[in-house]
Amino acid sequence: MIGKFAVCVGGGETAIFGHLPECLIFVICVDAVQRLAHVALIVWRPYNWSSLTAVEVVMSVCEWEQFEEILLSSRYRLTDSGPLYGPVKSFSIKRNSKHQIILSTISAGNAKTSEVEWPPGTLRVNTDVVYFEDYLGCTARAVGVIGFDHRKTDNYISGGSVTKQESIVGHIEATFPNVTVDMQVDWFINMDDGSLLWPHSKRVEEESTRTVRWISGNDELILNSSDNMVKSGSSCFALSVAGNDIIIGRSHSELNEGPKRGYILYKKETPDDVRRKIKDCVSFALGIYLVYVGTAGFSKDGGLGYFKSISAYTIGDRVFEIYRSPAAPLGFTYQGELDPALTSRIINSLFDAYDQYRFEDVFWQYWHAHCAPYHAAAVHYGAAIESLQKRYIEVSGKLSIGSILLKKDWRELRKKIILLLDSGGFSESEAKLLSQQIDNLNRAPQKVVMERFLDSLDIPLGALELSAWQQRNNAAHGNELVEDGHIDVIRGSKLLRIMFDRMILKMTNASDHYVDYYSPTFPVRRLTEAVPAHD
């Protein structure tokens, strides 16, 4: 038997998820029939997570998703081909180089399909489903299946023929009965580019036992031997986010080779929306877009309760071309340092303000600005900044930031304007068009709104940042660049990104400092310090 357990270690005391009985030890052993052969030893000890100084976390989950191994075992067969050509005789499933899930099927040459032929240009949510079933009655399903290639092959010697088809799958999922889910793991790619210095370590011990028996009649000679291997290294960070005890870490999967793989491990089963928010906040804190590829739930005794793997969204693979660049310093001692207190503050502050400021949309704009071409990035950063402004005005109640006149004064003036329109002899269509524009008269120019917004946050902008803000819409309006203006466009985008970082960090009290990615050597500055001009 091969045993494996992993322990995350920090300096000082030892800790674990929540309060559990002293020295409670159990083994996680995932069903070998499912080809998940890891066996993990778990040691829990009481600890108060609110005073976390070190972490001893026991990980009994797989290092990486294994939907291919599960579905391609001899247990599963494709029972309902849905929109595909069927009945299906055999299938294979895998991720391609674009991190999409690809389902390949083989059926008879005369196979039929029930796929609806949608008119070209039809926009719809794809809910087409393909079902799988094993001999125990467990089912899995592939959702959002769309065939993109099929061909019929004839064998003129045997007289037979087959139909081969390839399809993209939106996501694939399975639930296994009679398993109570106690912990959950989300998997990501693009987690770590190798520059992070993780504060906690993971220790893996592997032990293999070998028994040899020599038998002669009733006589037997037994020789037992064992080998032990220990692997350890700093590759994780344990923290609590709004009462959710989690571990963020880099994955070292031997089953699936690949760069930058990682996970977020949850002590308990956690709702999708909470995990999505935590992922978004961790992404912003680490300064890199985490590409979500799936999740799985496990029981305390190691049973796999469910899994779900999705075709990843990578912004056209642009996320793999940008460097990790956290908005705020994660440590002040080493480059790439991940200080637990600083990092936890950023993640928790963002999470606490997530719903209030609707960060789901804001972060979406932010990362697409990161990945946009240089000539268009300013437009995206500008939109993200204006979104922050609107959210702040709504939440703070400081509606005067976006207005020229106070509400009381504007109400009186508006009445007079309407009376003037009614008595002005305008045609009905003219009066209607003019009345629709009335409320726009009291909207302050964006330059004024920005100045008031920044004054409210106590964030001064320097001449460089103000210039970048004024020029942000050049790309949107198709304005031509001056000679050698490309460098200024790139620098302007950097400044707009810094403006966004300073604003969101100050709005949420996530940090007192920001990283100046405009200036050489990327100095750390206080939020109240503007980017200085350079020669």
Q: Which residues, 6+ apart, have CB-to-CB distance to 47 below 8 Å?
A: 13, 14, 15, 16, 18, 19
pLDDT of residue 51: 35
In this prediction, residue 29 carries a pLDDT of 35
User: In degrees rounded to 5, what are phi and psi of residue 42?
Assistant: -115, 135
Q: Is 201 left (phi over 0), alpha (psi -120 to 50) or beta?
A: beta
Q: Write down the pLDDT at residue 342.
A: 97
Residue 23: per-residue pLDDT:
33
Which pLDDT score is estimated for 512? Answer: 96
With a cut of 50, list the residues of the chain below it in pLDDT.
1-61, 254-256
Domain boundaries, the chain: 63-193+235-322, 340-404+443-526
Identify the pLDDT of residue 232: 67
pLDDT of residue 98: 92
Q: CA quadruple 314, 316, 321, 327: dihedral positive or negative?
A: negative
Give the per-residue pLDDT at 242: 93
Q: How far is CA 235 from CA 16, 60, 265, 270, in A?
A: 17, 16, 13, 23
Asked whether the beta carbons of 92 and 303 are under 8 A apart, the reply is: no
Residue 368 pLDDT: 96
| Residue-level pLDDT at 535 | 55
pLDDT at 329: 96
Three-state DSSP state, 284: helix
Question: What pLDDT score does 53 carry?
Answer: 32
Neighbours of 524 (CB within 10 A): 13
pLDDT digits (tens, 9 = 90+) for 417-452: 888 877 777 787 887 888 878 878 878 887 788 888
